A and B are shown apart, each in its own frame.
Chain A
């Protein structure tokens, strides 16, 4: 077999591995960058009250929402397929979902704060799967909503 034929034969495998490496690198970089960004934004929020308690106190209130849709990168999708063979916890997706929830809550809180609210109460978090016709695609939506209150 010539060198060219060898490459042609292993091409699907090479392409898959290359995509996995790309996914792992970009996915990890994006995750780190997002975490740093979220740390800074949470520090910025400071004393802003976020509560899941349903009693609303203050002079007025209104509904605020924040949401995000996350996609899983190629490496993590393949890793999940392999993980499903043996079952068990899948930490990469756990972390990804928690980052998405933080993002949704931050967006909601920032919307409320920009309007001069002093806090958000009765916060609810819901997530849903955005299934796609091709199983390779799709993402997960996380929504945070609550009642912004003013002192």
Chain B
């Protein structure tokens, strides 16, 4: 997931083929997204017949991309060119709203 940006992301603590020359520190990004009624109705029907709730999958994918983009912006602002050890988490803040959270360590690679 690169968001068309020049910041490299990995969830390992090193980057294959590259050398870390400076650690910058924690960078993070989050998005809290509520579902909307249209998708809830479609999901309500799916809750009778079962199966994947595609509307929600897409919604969460979009939101996660935004959370990662915010984290990437944070890293860029701090002068990094990569974020390593990225972790992704989801939590339900309240009924009907989810928080997508991405965090990692900003570094400078050679």
Q: Which residues of A contact B (CB under 8 A)?
A: 19, 22-23, 26-27, 30-31, 34, 54-65, 67-74, 76-77, 103, 121-122, 124, 126, 128-133, 136-139, 141, 143, 145-147, 149-150
> Whose C-beta in chain A lies nearest to the C-beta of B83?
A63
Q: Given A63-B11, A124-B11, do A57 and B91 touch, yes or no (CB 8 Å)?
A: no
Contact (Cβ within 8 A) A132 B95: yes
Q: Using A23-B48, A62-B1 as known contacts, list a sample of 4 further A-B pairs with CB atoms less than 8 Å apart, ordered by residue number in A.
A: A54-B13, A61-B12, A65-B88, A69-B54
Please, which residues of chain A bring their CB within 8 A of the CB of B47?
A: 71-74, 77, 136-139
Please, which residues of chain A bring their CB within 8 A of the CB of B108?
A: none
Counted as pairs of residues, one from A and one from B, with CB atoms less than 8 Å apart, the total is 148
| Cα-based distance from A126 to B91 in the complex (angstroms) | 11
B60 within 8 A of A: yes
Please, which residues of chain A bring their CB within 8 A of the CB of B54?
A: 69
Q: Give the interface residue-count category, chain B.
A: 35 or more
Q: Given A62-B10, A137-B40, A147-B10, do A56 and B1 touch, yes or no (CB 8 Å)?
A: no
Contact (Cβ within 8 A) B11 A130: no
| Cα-based distance from A26 to B52 in the complex (angstroms) | 12
B89 within 8 A of A: yes
Please, which residues of chain A bring their CB within 8 A of the CB of B46?
A: 71
Q: Which residues of B contact A (CB under 8 A)?
A: 1-2, 8-18, 35, 40, 43-44, 46-54, 56-57, 60-61, 64, 68, 86-92, 95-96, 98
Report which of A65, A122, A128, A150 forms a contact with B12, defined as CB distance below 8 A: A122
Question: B68 → chain A, closest Cβ, in Å?
Answer: 8
| Cα-based distance from A147 to B18 in the complex (angstroms) | 14
Report which of A57, A130, A136 forms a contact with B98, defined as CB distance below 8 A: A130
Please, which residues of chain B bring their CB within 8 A of the CB of A130?
A: 35, 56, 92, 98
Please, which residues of chain B bring their CB within 8 A of the CB of A132?
A: 35, 40, 43, 95-96
Please, which residues of chain A bring their CB within 8 A of the CB of B8?
A: 62
Question: A21 → chain B, closest Cβ, in Å?
Answer: 11
A-B contact pairs, 28 of them (CB 8 A): A22-B48, A23-B49, A27-B50, A30-B51, A56-B14, A57-B16, A60-B18, A61-B12, A63-B9, A65-B1, A65-B64, A67-B64, A69-B53, A69-B54, A69-B56, A70-B52, A70-B53, A73-B47, A73-B51, A76-B50, A128-B98, A129-B92, A132-B40, A137-B40, A139-B56, A141-B56, A141-B60, A150-B16
